[in-house]
Structure formats: C-alpha cells, structure tokens
C-alpha cells in the first residue's frame, strides 16, 4: 500500500467523525455541486461523483434526494470552500478544510481553537510545503482490467503512477493533480468504471512522531475543530498511532 493510502486509512474515522456529521458534510458538497451544475446527475459530473461518495459512506438514498431538492431552493445559502492552516501544540502542522456560508464566523471559530491549545493560525499557503494536495478517486475494479495500462493512460491526466487496491471492497484508489479532477473523472467514466467517487485531500509529506501525552492533546484539538458544522476535514502531520 502507498503512503497516501495508509495515512488516509489510519485517519479515516478521525477525518469523518460520526455518521450524522458525515451526512451533513456530504449534504453541503451536494449543494455546491447542484448550484454549479444543476440537479441532474447525468448532466452534472461533479454531482455524480459526490453521490458515489455518499453511497460509499452509506448515506441513505432519501437523504441524497432531499439534499439535492434543498439545494434547488432559492433560500439556500451559498457555501464556499476555505482552508485554514497553522501550527498546533508541539509543533504539529494543522490543515482545516471548511465549507461555509459565513467566513467571518468560521475563521473566528477556528482561530479560537488554535489559541485555546497554544497554537498559531498562519496565512493561506504557509504550510503548503508540508502537504501534498491531491484529488482522490475510488471506484470498483472491473474484471479483466489491466491496471498498468490504465495507469499509463491516466498519467497523461497527471495521475500518480502508484495506486491502492482494497481486495475486501474490490475497489481501486488513485491520486492525481487537483486541477485535473474533471478530466480524470471523465476518462474513468468513459472507460466503463461505475460509481466513481472523487474527493480532495491533503497528504502530509513528513510525518512527525509524538509522545502519547502529546497525541492526546492534539487529538483533543482536532476533535474540538471537528465539532464546528463548517469544518469538513482536519489534517495534521502527526504520525498515525500504530494499531
């Protein structure tokens, strides 16, 4: 398994939190996709991708349809994606990914947590050198597919040459340049892969060791940040705890 896969697997529960919170976050992603490209999945590649992710996270069909319907309402708020970054306790880098309809409220909430734990909220891009920003696609593996040939085709779309396979789920996960999100998704769908779920992520390129006591403090900070409805995902460069 690749570095990115192992990190995402180790932090999955902490990234997504409780199921109800997960559905709230996915609902916001649906709203953005509908606002940008309309409510019909067949005509909206981004919405198709979000719906595939919803299915993978076991979001009920009724919830998905309700989120699409709500996004069509005139009184629906427009969400904006914002990232906040800085250093938490013990020099751990923290990246906070948000979807918000009120950036003033969100930055105040995030800053309050950084301050509470003795951290420092930095300027946008200040920690870019510590994380690789990637788009991630997970899809069901087709019988008889030649993965080497597929990856060679996808390299033209700025996809990494390493991929991850989950035999239990029967899925393949690939990583690529976020700017190539649309072209990667289109190629996968045209190649016959179904339920292609995509998302964006930050993968730390240098994991930092911490003591059990330090890990406890950092985890408390992450949990506090994740309590805010605007927060989608919290990333750190803390080395995941070994099972």
What is the token pair recorded at 154? 């996808």
Task: Provide the percentage of residues in the chain whose pLDDT is more than 90.
Answer: 46
Q: Inform me whether the pLDDT recorded for 75 exceeds 80.
A: no
Q: Inform me whether the pLDDT recorded for 243 exceeds 60.
A: no
- Domain 3-71's class? mainly alpha
pLDDT digits (tens, 9 = 90+) for 86-136: 999 999 999 999 999 899 999 999 999 999 999 999 998 899 899 999 999
Region 219-230 average pLDDT: 93
Task: Provide the percentage of residues in the chain whose pLDDT is more than 70.
Answer: 90
- Domain 130-203's class? alpha beta
The rounded mean pLDDT for the chain is: 86
- The reported pLDDT for the residue numbered 74 is 54
Specify which residues 204 forms β-bridges with.
131
Residues of the chain with CATH 3.30.70.980: 80-124+209-236, 130-203
Q: What is the end-to-end Cα distance of the chain in Å, rounded?
A: 16
Least Cα distance to 134 among 206, 232, 204, 50 occurs for 204
- Domain 80-124+209-236's class? alpha beta
DSSP state of 127: T
pLDDT band at 17 (very low <50, low <70, confident <90, very high): very low
Interatomic CA distance for residues 9 and 115, integer angstroms? 29
Residues of the chain with CATH 1.10.10.200: 3-71
- The reported pLDDT for the residue numbered 174 is 92
Residue that has been written with the tokens 């006591």 in this structure: 213
């Amino acid at each position: 398994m690749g570095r990115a896969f192992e990190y995402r697997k180790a932090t999955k529960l902490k990234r997504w939190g409780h199921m109800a919170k997960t559905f709230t976050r996915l609902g916001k992603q649906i709203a953005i996709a509908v606002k940008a490209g309309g409510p019909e999945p067949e005509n909206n590649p981004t919405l198709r991708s979000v719906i595939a992710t919803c299915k993978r996270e076991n979001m009920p069909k009724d919830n998905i349809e309700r989120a699409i319907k709500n996004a069509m309402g005139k009184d629906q708020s427009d969400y904006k994606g914002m990232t906040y970054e800085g250093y938490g306790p013990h020099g751990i880098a923290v990246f906070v990914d948000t979807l918000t309809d009120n950036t003033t409220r969100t930055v105040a909430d995030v800053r309050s947590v950084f301050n509470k734990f003795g951290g420092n909220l930095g300027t946008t891009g200040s920690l870019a050198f510590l994380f690789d920003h990637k788009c991630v696609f997970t899809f069901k593996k087709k019988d008889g597919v030649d993965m080497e040939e597929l990856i060679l085709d996808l390299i033209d779309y700025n996809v990494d040459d390493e991929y991850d396979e989950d035999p239990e789920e029967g899925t393949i996960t690939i990583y690529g340049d976020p700017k190539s999100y649309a072209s990667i998704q289109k190629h996968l769908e045209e190649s016959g892969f179904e339920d292609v779920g995509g998302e964006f992520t930050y993968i730390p390129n240098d994991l930092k060791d911490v003591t059990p006591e330090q890990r406890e403090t950092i985890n408390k900070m992450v949990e506090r940040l994740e309590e805010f409805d605007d927060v989608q995902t919290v990333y750190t460069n803390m080395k995941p705890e070994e099972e």
